[in-house]
Protein backbone atom coordinates (compact mmCIF):
# COMPACT_ATOMS: atom_id res chain seq x y z
CA UNK A 1 0.00 0.00 0.00
CA UNK A 2 1.33 3.40 -0.95
CA UNK A 3 1.07 6.31 1.49
CA UNK A 4 0.71 9.58 -0.37
CA UNK A 5 0.02 13.24 0.31
CA UNK A 6 -2.24 13.56 -2.70
CA UNK A 7 -4.63 10.72 -3.44
CA UNK A 8 -6.27 12.40 -6.39
CA UNK A 9 -3.46 11.45 -8.75
CA UNK A 10 -3.56 7.80 -7.67
CA UNK A 11 -7.26 7.56 -8.35
CA UNK A 12 -6.69 7.90 -12.09
CA UNK A 13 -4.34 4.95 -12.41
CA UNK A 14 -7.13 2.44 -13.05
CA UNK A 15 -10.78 2.84 -13.91
CA UNK A 16 -11.97 0.65 -10.99
CA UNK A 17 -10.25 2.75 -8.32
CA UNK A 18 -12.53 4.07 -5.58
CA UNK A 19 -11.79 6.68 -2.94
CA UNK A 20 -13.17 5.58 0.43
CA UNK A 21 -13.09 7.24 3.84
CA UNK A 22 -12.49 4.90 6.78
CA UNK A 23 -11.62 5.91 10.35
CA UNK A 24 -10.69 9.44 9.29
CA UNK A 25 -8.29 8.26 6.61
CA UNK A 26 -8.67 8.37 2.85
CA UNK A 27 -8.08 5.13 0.99
CA UNK A 28 -7.93 4.23 -2.67
CA UNK A 29 -9.16 0.66 -3.13
CA UNK A 30 -9.48 -1.49 -6.20
CA UNK A 31 -11.29 -4.83 -6.14
CA UNK A 32 -10.13 -6.03 -9.54
CA UNK A 33 -6.47 -5.06 -9.12
CA UNK A 34 -5.40 -4.81 -5.44
CA UNK A 35 -2.01 -3.47 -6.53
CA UNK A 36 -3.45 0.05 -6.66
CA UNK A 37 -4.19 0.38 -2.93
CA UNK A 38 -3.17 3.68 -1.36
CA UNK A 39 -3.71 5.65 1.83
CA UNK A 40 -3.60 9.27 2.93
CA UNK A 41 -3.48 10.60 6.50
pLDDT of residue 3: 93
What is the DSSP-derived secondary structure letter of residue 12?
Answer: T
- Parse the chain into domains and list their residue ranges: 2-40
pLDDT of residue 21: 95
pLDDT of residue 41: 79
Q: What is the dihedral of CA 31, 22, 26, 39, to 10 degrees?
A: -60
pLDDT one digit per residue (tens) for the chain, 41 residues: 899 999 988 988 999 999 999 999 999 999 999 999 999 97
Amino acid sequence: MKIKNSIKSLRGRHRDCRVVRRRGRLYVINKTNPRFKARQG
